Amino acid sequence: MKKVLLFGNEAIVQGALEAGAGFATTYPGTPASEIGDIFAKIAKKQKIYFEYSTNEKVALEAAAGAAFSNVKSIVSMKHYGLNVASDSFLPLVYFSCPLVVVVADDPGCWSSVQTEQDCRWYSRLANIPMLEPSNSQEAKDMTKEAFAIAWKYKIPVLVRLTTRVSHSKSAVKVGKILSAKTRGKFNKKFGLGSTITVERHVKLLEKLEKIKEVVEKSKFNFAQKDNNKGKIGVITSGIAYSYVREALKELNAKLPLLKLGFTYPFPSEKVRKFLSKIMEVFVVEELDPVVEEETRKLTDKKVYGKNLLPEAGELKPEDVLIALSKLLRKKLPINLIKEFSETVPKRIPFLCPGCPHRPVFYVVKKVLGKKIFAGDIGCYMLGSYPPYELENFVVAMGAGTGISHGIAKTTGEKPVIFIGDSTFFHAGIPALLNLVYNKSNALVIVMDNRITAMTGHQPHPGTGFTGMHEKTKTIQIEDIAKACQADFVKTSNAYNLEQLKKDIKQAYDSKGVSVIIAKGECRLLTIRKITRQGIPIQKFEIVKQKPGLRELEQFACPAIRKKKGKYFIDEDLCWGCSLCKQLFPDCIRIKKQEEE
Amino acid sequence: MKPFNLIITGYGGQGVLTLAEIIAKAAFVQGYDVKQAELHGLAQRGGSLQCHVRFGKEIFSSLVRKGNANLIIALETVEALRACYFANKKTIILTNKKIFRLPLELKVILKKIKKYSKKLYVVSADEIIKKITGDITMVNTYVLGYALAKKLLPLKKEIIWQTLKEKIHPEFLEENKKVLGEAFRKSPSI
């Protein structure tokens, strides 16, 4: 078998292909984004179906429909994507729906602003079998196992990843890819069953009893062979396992170690057996004490866990090393004792040079001044940072619009909402409808950069192409806003400051629900297109200084900087959007290309 | 071999991820067990970026633990200081001489970094490659070349070059070669 280096997310796709998956869906969300992106890349070649759905709920439902039609299907999403999908996720477990659901948590919130939730609780809430890979090999193997369990017991199965599993590379033995079935026949038996929910609940619990027998024998729950001495044992799951192995090696300790990978239904017999041979146990896991609480239920012996490890934030290898050294009264490696004492200023991410969101923030601040501003999920969250400081809250996909309605109703003010194009399709439409239906007063600015930018440039209903790279209808946001009967609807060119000023003022001043679609392609995309054609990027330069140029600091393009009191354009950063020239046509001009 | 713990750092857009991928792949081809951790997300938009690459006989964790790096390669100087969290008295640090969008003084930062390292190499990679290629895109290649020339990585040059060739668009291969060659010329100690 060939061994290759794969990211956890790549290994998930490999596992799905080896299991014969023929249908895959997602809505992009990091740390899970690459799962969909890899499917998008290989779907045609592997002759399987893949789509970017409009949101996670729809993605899950589409995958369920394929499963109901006897096609092996998989859906992936980030942690709160599962919150969006949960409305269908929970009832689907009651059906005979053989489906693999992959969810990626983000401990440390590296790519997340909403919550640091631990999706393992969903297994308990929904009664869904769950596997927790700790590296890429397991990500592949467990995905295959998930398909096997799903199809044998006709039940959805959850594979739960974390950022460090998704975004770490390690060696994977790749196997044969099964030729996938993409066509099936709707199987009534999967969907129907009893119409009485309580009866279906009873049946689900019976299924889980049978799966528990599999869990108790599963190779994914194993006691480490070479580690067996000592009165203290360790139980661990997920990425924490790798930190435990590393720490034990550094401390030169060989403790009894139980690694759990198939964790719901909980392998209580296996854990009980493990506990019988030790006096005390240390449960090492990231985020919530899920395994710890299960363990406590099984024993009166001393259980250590979150009293020695952080519950919030990412678990780090040194956290585990320090905790174990305390517990075992072993000396720490000398190089850990010296404290790193520097306070290094945080690097605040900025909108790219030439970003179409910048002129919108600049103009809104100029024209509207102090108002109530709502943000949403996307690159435009960066509008909350100085100098714009335009978003008073960012909660969840589409929530900016929904919450603003309540604010408008109770304060009498007209809030201004920033929402991205992909976010608008995902969760903005029902909220916009509600604004109109319930006679609200708000300005919705759709930051339409023509792509799902932040997660890595995935297409959406407004782009005109699908996840299979096929042409499709281009849905116009303006048409939707009009169909929702908003009082004022206008598309404005984000790269034209004068037009933007006029349109935003007019939209705000008009009564009721106003919608501005500020359209301008993500500059990264434009630059990529230009470069691919071999055309040099136009650069700009400042040729005249005057006190008024201070205004450029409010515009805040990262390419414009100040040295010894003079403003200049860093040509390494300038992406030629021309917006600064629009502000100061007398001081800024196109830089002449150097002759080669 | 004892695990070799490497931190590669810089800000989004400098090619930190590509550099980490090339080194990890080369180590794998050379027969080591490899683990690599990286972060996606807002990295494209100028945030700090840190990749961990570990290789040796048997590697468990993909993250280097605090104070345990053998080598830190930084494409930006403030990021080098940030990565000193992973340094100890034996750590070698190689950094690009550049401060990006932070109101800090280069001299002060370099002095601090020195405290955390056994040996500190500082290269003006941006200026050098700008002269060769016209822009700063290949800063990662230059720094990689410099690390190889100074023998800071226990990896074979030929394997690194082979990996680079597979990773990089053929169109840019010649320029990459030029940049690597320049890196070797600038390190006369070998």
> Inter-chain contact A171–B28, Cβ cutoff 8 Å?
yes
- Residues of chain A with C-beta less than 8 angstroms from the C-beta of B67: 318, 333, 335-336, 338, 340
Average pLDDT over residues B125-142: 90
Pick the residue from chain A with its C-alpha nearest to B79. Answer: A344
> Inter-chain contact B62–A111, Cβ cutoff 8 Å?
no
- Give the pLDDT of residue A227: 65
Q: Give the model's confidence band at A338: pLDDT under 50 very low, under 70 low, under 90 confident, else very high.
A: low
pLDDT value at B43 more than 60: no
Residues 6+ apart with CB under 8 A from B126: B96, B97, B98, B136, B139
- Give the pLDDT of residue A376: 95
**CA pseudo-torsion sign A25, A27, A31, A34:** positive
A222-337 CATH, one of 3.40.50.300, 3.40.1710.10, 3.40.50.920, 3.40.50.12280: 3.40.50.920
- CATH number reported for the structural domain that contains residue B65 in this entry: 3.40.920.10
Residue B40, Cα to own-chain centre: how many angstroms? Answer: 18
Q: Are the CB atoms for A336 and B67 separated by under 8 Å?
A: yes
pLDDT, tens digit, for every residue of A20-45? 999 999 999 999 999 999 999 999 99
- pLDDT averaged over chain A? 95
Average pLDDT over residues A153-176: 97
Neighbours of B58 (CB within 10 A): 10
- Residues of chain A with C-beta less than 8 angstroms from the C-beta of B57: none
> Inter-chain contact A350–B46, Cβ cutoff 8 Å?
yes
Q: Please tell me the least confidently modeled range out of A124-138, A461-475, B163-177.
A: B163-177
pLDDT value at B177 more than 90: no
- Residues of chain A with C-beta less than 8 angstroms from the C-beta of B45: 349-352, 379, 382
More confident site: A236 or B40: A236
- Give the pLDDT of residue B40: 63
pLDDT value at B189 more than 50: no
Q: Give the model's confidence band at B45: pLDDT under 50 very low, under 70 low, under 90 confident, else very high.
A: low
Q: What is the ipTM of this complex?
A: 0.94
Among A17, A42, A286, residue whose Cα is nearest residue A165: A286
Q: Give the model's confidence band at A349: pLDDT under 50 very low, under 70 low, under 90 confident, else very high.
A: confident
Min Cα–Cα distance to chain A from B8, Å: 14
Query: How wide is the angle at C-alpha A592 spanned by C-alphas A363 and B174, nearest 5°?
Result: 105
- Residues of chain A with C-beta less than 8 angstroms from the C-beta of B81: 342, 344
Crossing angle of helices A429-437 and A399-411, in 10° steps, is: 20
Among A90, A88, A124, A137, residue whose Cα is nearest residue A288: A124
pLDDT, tens digit, for every residue of A479-525? 999 999 999 999 999 999 999 999 999 999 999 999 999 999 999 99
Domains held by chain B: number = 1
Among A525, A474, A523, residue whose Cα is nearest residue A495: A523
Alpha helices in B5-122 (DSSP H): 16-29, 77-83, 106-115
Looking at chain A, the whole-number percentage of residues with pLDDT higher than 70 is: 97
Tell me if B30 is assigned to some domain: yes
- What is the number of H-type helices and E-type strands within chain B? 7, 6
Min Cα–Cα distance to chain B from A304, Å: 22
Average pLDDT over residues B157-172: 89
pLDDT, tens digit, for every residue of A405-446? 999 999 999 999 999 999 999 999 999 999 999 999 999 999
Average pLDDT over residues A308-321: 96
User: Which site among A7, A174, A344 would you substitute to test the B interface, given the most B Cβ atoms closer than 10 Å to its Cβ?
Assistant: A344
- Amino acid letter, A122: Y
Is the entire prediction scored with pTM above 0.90?
A: yes
Tell me if B64 is assigned to some domain: yes
Tell me if B44 is assigned to some domain: yes
- Give the pLDDT of residue B42: 57
CATH topology of domain A357-528: Rossmann fold (3.40.50)
pLDDT value at B160 more than 90: yes
- Residues of chain A with C-beta less than 8 angstroms from the C-beta of B46: 347, 349-350, 352, 558
> Inter-chain contact A345–B81, Cβ cutoff 8 Å?
no
The answer to whether A120 contacts chain B (CB < 8 Å) is no
- Give the pLDDT of residue B190: 38
> Inter-chain contact A342–B63, Cβ cutoff 8 Å?
no
Q: Give the model's confidence band at A194: pLDDT under 50 very low, under 70 low, under 90 confident, else very high.
A: low
- Give the pLDDT of residue A595: 47
Among A74, A66, A87, residue whose Cα is nearest residue A15: A74
> Inter-chain contact B68–A336, Cβ cutoff 8 Å?
yes
The pair of three-digit structure tokens given for residue A148, joined into one six-digit string: 């096997």
DSSP annotation string for B59-73: ---SSPPTT--SEEE
Out of B35, B44, B116, closest to residue A169 by CB: B35
Average pLDDT over residues A148-169: 97
Tell me if B190 is assigned to some domain: no
The answer to whether A457 contacts chain B (CB < 8 Å) is no
CATH superfamily for domain A2-217: Thiamin diphosphate (ThDP)-binding fold, Pyr/PP domains (3.40.50.970)
Question: Which residue range forms the structural domain that includes residue B113?
Answer: 4-185
Phi and psi at residue B171, to the nearest 5°? -60, -35
Neighbours of A373 (CB within 10 A): 25
Out of A111, A246, A335, closest to residue B40 by CB: A111
Tell me if B117 is assigned to some domain: yes
Q: Give the model's confidence band at A596: pLDDT under 50 very low, under 70 low, under 90 confident, else very high.
A: very low
pLDDT value at A337 more than 50: yes
Tell me if B83 is assigned to some domain: yes
Among B52, B47, B44, residue whose Cα is nearest residue B13: B44
